[in-house]
Each structure stands twice: as C-alpha cells, then as structure tokens.
RNA sequence: GCGCCUGUGGCUCAGCUGGAUAGAGCGCAGCCCUGCGGAGGCUGAGGUCGCGGGUUCGAAUCCCGCCAGGCGUACCA
C-alpha cells in the first residue's frame, strides 16, 4: 500500500540526510504518517520534522526541507512540500489515481481484499447467549459487531471461523427447566411454584403452551426429575431455533454452534483441569475447588467446582478456551462479550497464562450495554423479570439494515440508547438509505448506459481530471487501508464512516459531472469511474452485512 | 471503597497509538430540477471537546485530581 511505500521512502531520506550531516545524528523517533483532515494538506503527511527539531535544535521547517531534498518519491506520489510549522505533505499523483480506477475494475468483487492476515486462523465467538430466552437488543449489538468483524477479517486474508457458544448445561439451564416445568403445570391447571430466580418472562408461558399443543399432558405422568429433563431439552431446542431465526433476520451467520455440554464428554474439561492441577494452580478449600489466580497477580481466587460438586461457568469456560487454543489450535481468538462480563476478562487471561498460552492471542471486546427506550420511557430487557421487547420486535420495527448500521457506527466502548421512536423517525432520513441510495443511483446510471449500448471498456481514464472526479477516486483508493484500520483496531465504525464519505463524494460528483452525455469519450471514462464506485460501495455494504439495492 | 467504560454543537454519535481553522447525521435558516433517480446538491447559524491542574513546540487525544452516568467487584452467567 501507498502508506508503507511512503514510510520506507521517508526512512531512507532521513537516514541519507543524517549521513550527510544535514541533521545531527540522533535517535530516530517513530515515523507516523497520517491522513490530513484538510485537503489542502495533501493526502498524506508526517510531522516528523517537528519531532526531530526537538532533538536537533534545528528549526522544523528547515529539517522538513532537508528531508525533502533527499526524498526519492514513489510513482504514486506527485510531490512533497514542507508546510509550517514543520510538516511534510504528500499529494497523490493524478495519473496514478486515474489508473486505480482500472485496478478496481479488474479486482471487481475482490477489491479491498488484502493478504494482511496471511491465513492466520482466527475465531470470532459472539452472541453466545444462554438458550433460556429470546434475544434482546443488547445481544443484537454483539451479533452485528461480530459478524461484521468476521466479514472484514475474511477480506483481510484471515482464515475466519464464527462460533456461537451454546451454554446448554449448568445452573441457568436448570432454572430454565424448572421454570418451564412450573409453567407447564400451571397451564394445565395444576398448582406449581416458580423457582425464586426463575424465568418469569411471558415467553415462558407461551413456550409451555406450545409444548402442550405439540406434546399434550404426557409430562405430568413422569417423575418431576424426568419431566424437567425432557422439558428442558424440548424447550431449549425451541429457544435455540428462535435465536437462530432472529440471527438470520439480522443477517448474522455462524459456522459452528459449540455445545458447552460437549466439553464434559470430549475430554476438554478433564484435560484442562488436569493441566491446571499439574501446574499447581488448583486447590481445595471450604469443600470447593479453586483456581489460584491470585498467584498470577489477580485480586482473588475463583471457584471452579462448587461445594455441591457442580462446575462453575468459569470452569466450563476454561475448558472451552482450552479447546479453542490447544485442541482446535486457533492462532487468535476474539471473544465478544457484554460489559457485564468484564470481571471475567482478567481471570480468563490468567488461565491462559497458567496453560502457557500467550494471553495476547485472546482479544476480548466488551460491548457496553444498550438501553432500549421509546422516547423518554426506558424499556427493561431483563429476561428473568418479565416483559421483554425482543430483538425481533426491534428489527421488525426498525429494519435490518438500519439496525446493523446503527450498531456499527457506534464504538463498542460507549453505552448507547436505542430509542425506537428516534430510530423509526430517522429511518427515512437515515444514513443507511443515503448510502444505499448512492448505490441505487449508480445502478440506474449503468442501466441507462446499458440501454444505450455504450461499451466503456476502452474509456480513457486520463480524461478524469476535475476535482469531483479526483476526490471520488481518492476515496475509492482508501478502502484497503480502511479495512486494515478496522483489523488493527477491531473497530468497524471506521468502515461505516468510510461508506458515508464515499456516498457523499459520489452524490457530489453526480451533481457536478454529467456522466452519460454527448461527449462520447468523457462518457466512457466516467462510466468506468461510476462502475468502480459501485464496486467499492457494494463491497463496503456487503462487509457491513447490508443489502446492496439496485433500485429503491 | 476498588476496578473497567463513558461525558464533544438542540438530539444521536465519530475523532482519543498527540499535530495544522474540532467532524458527521438528524433538527434549524436559506438556496438549487427546460440533463443520467430531489431518498439528492449547495450555503449558513450552532461547540469553554464535564471541571481543574500537569507534560509538550503543539492536548478533545497522554498523566494526576475532582464531578456525573453505566457496568463490575458471587460457590450467577
């Protein structure tokens, strides 16, 4: 990429400058190349001279000039100028920019793809909601984030796996089962108490009724334990089915649904515990089994097996990560969790250390919580307490594309209000439609060209010379580094903002530059640019998991 | 109490590995269809970047303190 080339070129120039004594020998600070916000400052810039000035005592502008004298610029760069107070600004060559249009046309759907990941095997685990109730809005956030990152990493040359961890055993499942059994009995006119921490949501009663309509009263004949076992299985399957449907509605796919229960049958749990035991990280105390995370610098130890003999969620998760890293051998793992799991991060990292796995190989993205509201009214989304507005209802109300874009344009770090009233009100004037409209507009132009039988393969790109044209091309060339930026930071909002900018530049170009006109040569050149814009815009929309409309 | 996250124009949010006059969308005030989709384009008003110190040639961005909100601090997940 241009940026890398430029970096090397600057390094060379600085080193030459130093050797010739134009800059006193000094420790070279990191060279950072940025994108100036202001177009007048070129396409790339470095403030290196300002840093060197501090060390050398020479004025930064003077240093900038000396470095520029030693620069041998790559073909992509037209010129380098020193700018006060001490920047070097680089401008892309118009000729090179125009050529990029055909680079994009040739790459077509693969434009933007890189080999940055060089096939690194990486797992994204996300959503992973307990199968004890429907998804709500907060889960949607993680789902959209995870699916988009997975798309982007795939494009960047990683070997990606998307996984949903199904917590199909343990405490919460037991409570789910007893809650369902109670509702089942109640629906059949029997007295039954809900467990204290039970799932009181209305959906549980609906679930019980559904089971009655399909299976009748037969579970009343069974022993309580047997009835609960069977109801748990049936109920959970239905819930999972619903979750799968909701995710599909949100355009979120998984490669693997990994069962927590399996960890206890496939040896992962035993192996992980044995390893920790052998390495001396396990101790028995107060009748429970503990992981001694405190010796690894944690605040406290954590329970692995309760005094009643049942393993904790933490213990499962250890086995689970054992499977990820040591059994399935992912090079990197990205877990996306809700912010309410933050306390879990340091102890998970401690476990990795204990298992001699570099903790750097695990990244945990914590999504801050989402508050759902309708105007001033805050809507609770707790599964246990009762009424829920499900993710499905939100999607039905707001739309998949708008939902996805809404989540993607906000940093995972910031808590957000999802105001249904606002989301709906804005849906017509939503940035999503602005971007999609640009694509539909492009499609329409290309349709027109097609109807007029204009073949533009031979269009002469050097005819593209006006500001709107060149600005648009510039933006097109930024896609690969935008993707790289997301890969580096795990923050997809760079892509959403990019797509918006691209749409803006296209609309502006469209207004100022008539594409299909009497000027045959110019028409062909511009059609090429339009097609390249379509390729690029469609790519960003696909990466974000949104529809790519030909018409609206 | 301690830990993590957040506090940017009326609203919702970007920018936070320090850079050159602080950005976008919505909302608001105007302007633009005798040419390919007006779900569009253009112009403008609107901000002590929570507060106070510090580091630096330069701080919304880094450090310290304070204020406000969210989350965590379970033999819940």
For A194-249, write each residue's pLDDT tens digit: 998 899 888 999 999 999 999 999 999 999 999 999 999 999 999 999 999 999 99
User: Of A396, A427, A458, which residue sits at a domain end?
Assistant: A427
**C-alpha span between A274 and A280 (Å, rounded):** 10
**C-alpha span between A135 and A203 (Å, rounded):** 12
Q: Is the pLDDT of residue A273 over 90?
A: yes
- Per the prediction, chain A carries an average pLDDT of 92
CB A250 within 8 A of CB A395: yes
Q: Which of residues 353-392 of A touch strand B (CB under 7 A)?
A: 366, 368-369
Q: Is the CB of A328 under 7 A from strand B?
A: no
- Looking at the domain assignment, is residue A106 inside a domain? no
Say if residue A85 is preceded by a cis peptide, omega within 30 of 0. Answer: yes
Q: Which of residues 1-20 of A touch strand B (CB under 7 A)?
A: none
Q: Are residues A485 and A356 in the same domain?
A: no
Q: Provide the pLDDT confidence category of residue A386 given band limits of 50, 70 and 90.
A: low
A209: CB partners within 8 A, 6+ apart = A187
CB A250 within 8 A of CB A140: yes
Q: Are residues A388 and A462 in the same domain?
A: no
Q: Are residues A329 and A443 in the same domain?
A: no
Q: Is the pLDDT of residue A318 over 80?
A: yes
Count: domains in chain A: 3
User: Of A43, A69, A91, which residue sits at a domain end?
Assistant: A91
Q: Are residues A84 and A170 in the same domain?
A: no
String of b and e for A245-282 (b: at least 16 CB within 10 Å)? Answer: ebbebbbbebeeebbbebbbeeebbebbbebbeeeebb
User: Of A427, A450, A479, which residue sits at a domain end?
Assistant: A427
Query: Number of helices (H) and strands (E), helices first, in chain A?
Result: 20, 15
Q: Is the pLDDT of residue A307 over 90?
A: yes
**C-alpha span between A389 and A379 (Å, rounded):** 8
- Looking at the domain assignment, is residue A111 inside a domain? no
The CA–C1' separation of A431 and B44, in angstroms, is: 22
Q: Which of residues 19-58 of A touch strand B (CB under 7 A)?
A: 32, 34, 36-38, 40-42, 45, 47, 50-51, 53-54
Q: Are residues A87 and A227 in the same domain?
A: no
What pLDDT score was predicted for residue A382? 59
What pLDDT score was predicted for residue A197? 85
What string of H, E and C letters represents the secondary structure of A427-441?
CCCCHHHHHHHHHHH
Q: Write phi, then psi, for A471 (nearest 5 degrees).
A: -60, -40
Q: Are residues A418 and A482 in the same domain?
A: no
- Looking at the domain assignment, is residue A549 inside a domain? no
**Chain B bases having any atom below 7 Å from a protein CB:** 3-7, 11-27, 35-42, 56-58, 69-77
Q: For residue A550, what is the enclosing H or E element?
A: none
Q: Are residues A242 and A332 in the same domain?
A: yes
**C-alpha span between A349 and A206 (Å, rounded):** 41
- Looking at the domain assignment, is residue A453 inside a domain? yes
Across the beta sheet with A370-374, what order do the strands follow? A377-379, A370-374, A416-419
Q: Are residues A27 and A77 in the same domain?
A: yes
Across the beta sheet with A302-305, what order do the strands follow? A282-285, A288-291, A302-305
The CA–C1' separation of A62 and B54, in angstroms, is: 31
Q: Are residues A312 and A384 in the same domain?
A: yes
- Looking at the domain assignment, is residue A548 inside a domain? no
* CATH number of domain containing A475: 1.10.730.10
What pLDDT score was predicted for residue A30? 74
CB A395 within 8 A of CB A401: no
Q: Are residues A215 and A364 in the same domain?
A: yes
Q: Are strands A370-374 and A377-379 parallel, antiparallel or unpaired?
A: antiparallel
The CA–C1' separation of A344 and B60, in angstroms, is: 31
Answer left, alpha or beta for residue A497, where phi above 0 means left and psi between -120 and 50 means alpha. Answer: alpha
The CA–C1' separation of A481 and B60, in angstroms, is: 24
Torsion of CA A526, A529, A535, A536, to 10 degrees: -140
Q: Which residue, counting CA atoms, is nearest to the C1' of nucleotide B38? A: A511
The CA–C1' separation of A36 and B19, in angstroms, is: 10
**C-alpha span between A322 and A314 (Å, rounded):** 12
* CATH number of domain containing A40: 3.30.1360.70
Q: Which of residues 481-510 of A touch strand B (CB under 7 A)?
A: 485, 488-489, 491, 493-494, 497, 500, 504, 507-508, 510
* CATH number of domain containing A168: 3.40.50.620
Percent of chain A with pLDDT over 90: 74
Burial label, A243 (beta-carbon count in 10 A; 0-12, 13-18, 19+): buried
Q: Are residues A436 and A422 in the same domain?
A: no
Q: Is the CB of A428 under 7 A from strand B?
A: yes
Most confident of A49-63, A79-93, A320-334, A413-427: A320-334
- Looking at the domain assignment, is residue A518 inside a domain? yes
- Looking at the domain assignment, is residue A118 inside a domain? no
A419-450 per-position pLDDT tens digit: 887 777 655 568 889 999 999 999 999 999 99
Q: Are strands A33-34 and A44-46 parallel, antiparallel or unpaired?
A: antiparallel
Q: Are residues A241 and A371 in the same domain?
A: yes
Q: Tell me the mean pLDDT in the region A174-193.
A: 95
Q: How many CB atoms are closer than 10 A to CB A16?
A: 17
Q: Is the pLDDT of residue A14 over 90?
A: no
Q: Provide the pLDDT confidence category of residue A27 given band limits of 50, 70 and 90.
A: low
Q: Is the pLDDT of residue A453 over 60?
A: yes
Range of the domain at A421: 123-427
- Looking at the domain assignment, is residue A97 inside a domain? no
CB A101 within 8 A of CB A532: yes
What pLDDT score was predicted for residue A33? 86
What pLDDT score was predicted for residue A37? 81
The CA–C1' separation of A493 and B53, in angstroms, is: 34
């Amino acid at each position: 990429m241009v940026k890398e080339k430029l970096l090397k070129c600057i390094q060379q120039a600085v080193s030459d400058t130093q050797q010739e004594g134009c800059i006193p020998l000094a420790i070279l600070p990191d060279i950072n190349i940025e994108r100036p916000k202001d177009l007048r400052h070129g396409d790339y810039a470095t403030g290196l001279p300002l840093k060197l000035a501090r060390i050398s005592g020479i004025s930064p502008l003077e240093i900038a000039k000396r470095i520029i004298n030693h620069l041998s610029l790559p073909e992509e760069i037209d010129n380098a100028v020193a700018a006060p107070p001490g920047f070097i600004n680089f401008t892309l060559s118009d000729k090179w920019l125009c050529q990029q249009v055909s680079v994009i046309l040739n790459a077509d759907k693969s434009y933007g793809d890189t080999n940055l990941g060089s096939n690194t095997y990486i797992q994204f685990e996300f959503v992973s909601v307990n199968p004890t109730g429907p998804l709500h809005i907060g889960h949607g956030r993680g789902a959209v984030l995870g699916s988009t990152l997975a798309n982007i990493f795939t494009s960047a040359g990683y070997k990606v796996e998307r996984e949903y961890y199904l917590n199909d055993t343990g405490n919460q499942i037991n409570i789910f089962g007893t809650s369902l059994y109670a509702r089942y009995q109640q629906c059949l006119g029997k007295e039954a108490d809900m467990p204290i921490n039970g799932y009181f949501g209305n959906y549980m009663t609906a679930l019980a009724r559904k089971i009655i309509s399909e299976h009748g009263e037969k579970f009343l004949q069974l022993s309580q334990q047997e009835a609960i076992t069977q109801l748990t299985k049936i109920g959970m399957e239905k819930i999972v089915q619903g979750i799968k449907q909701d995710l599909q509605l949100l355009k979120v796919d998984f490669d693997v649904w990994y069962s927590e229960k399996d960890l206890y049958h496939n040896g992962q749990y035993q192996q992980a515990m044995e390893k920790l035991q052998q390495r001396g990280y396990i101790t028995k105390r107060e009748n429970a089994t503990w992981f001694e995370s405190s010796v690894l610098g944690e605040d406290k130890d954590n329970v692995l097996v309760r005094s009643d003999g049942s393993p904790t969620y933490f213990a499962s998760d250890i086995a689970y990560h054992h499977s990820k890293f040591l059994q399935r051998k992912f090079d990197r793992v990205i877990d996306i969790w809700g912010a309410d799991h933050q306390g879990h991060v340091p102890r998970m990292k401690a476990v990795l250390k204990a298992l001699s796995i570099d903790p750097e190989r695990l990244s945990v993205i914590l999504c801050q919580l989402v508050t759902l509201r309708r105007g001033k009214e805050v809507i609770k989304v707790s599964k246990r307490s009762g009424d829920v507005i499900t993710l499905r209802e939100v999607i039905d109300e707001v739309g998949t594309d708008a939902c996805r874009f809404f989540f993607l344009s906000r940093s995972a770090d910031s808590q957000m209000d999802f105001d249904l009233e606002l989301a709906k009100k804005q849906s017509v004037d939503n940035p999503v439609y602005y971007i999609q409209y640009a694509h539909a507009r492009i499609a329409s132009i290309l349709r027109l060209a097609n109807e007029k039988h204009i073949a533009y393969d031979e269009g002469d790109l050097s005819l593209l010379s006006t500001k709107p044209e060149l600005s648009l091309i510039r933006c097109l060339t930024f896609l690969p580094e935008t993707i790289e930026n997301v890969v580096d930071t795990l923050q997809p909002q760079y892509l959403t903002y990019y797509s918006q900018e691209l749409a803006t530049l296209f609309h502006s170009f469209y207004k100022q530059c008539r594409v299909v006109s009497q000027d045959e040569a110019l028409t062909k050149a511009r059609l090429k640019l339009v097609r390249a814009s379509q390729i690029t815009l469609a790519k960003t929309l696909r990466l974000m998991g949104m529809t790519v409309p030909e018409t609206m």
